[in-house]
Structure 1
Amino acid sequence: MPQLNPAPWFFIMLATWLTFTLIVQPKLLSFVSTNPPSDKTPTTYNITSWTWPWT
């Protein structure tokens, strides 16, 4: 059964992951985010509960 022979597929998988982690990933992580998180504090609203007429 040739699909049980890991010789060519293991090298292809290893080469793919090494390419991704050493070349592609640093290039992707070097991009500047177009929407950086802001340091604004979230606004809180004064919410009053609804007064039901039958209570």
Structure 2
Amino acid sequence: MPQLNPNPWLFTMLITWATYSLLIQPKLLSFTSTNPPTNKLYQATDTTPWTWPWT
């Protein structure tokens, strides 16, 4: 079964993962968000029970 042979792709996957985690990810995380999240005020919603027509 050739799918189970890790030789041709394992090294490529490890190099890609290492490149992403060591080089690309810190550069992406250093950017500041253009729309930073803000704390929203909690608004309690007034819920009314559903009136089932068959009860």
| TM-score, structure 2 normalization | 0.60
Distance 2:2 2:24 in 1: 31
Match in the other structure for 1:31:
31
For structure 1, the residue ranges without an aligned partner over 5 or more in a row are 50-55
Number of equivalences:
46
Distance 1:7 1:44 in 2: 57
State the identity as a percent: 59
Match in the other structure for 1:12:
12
Q: Which runs of 4+ in 1 moved over 6 A?
A: none
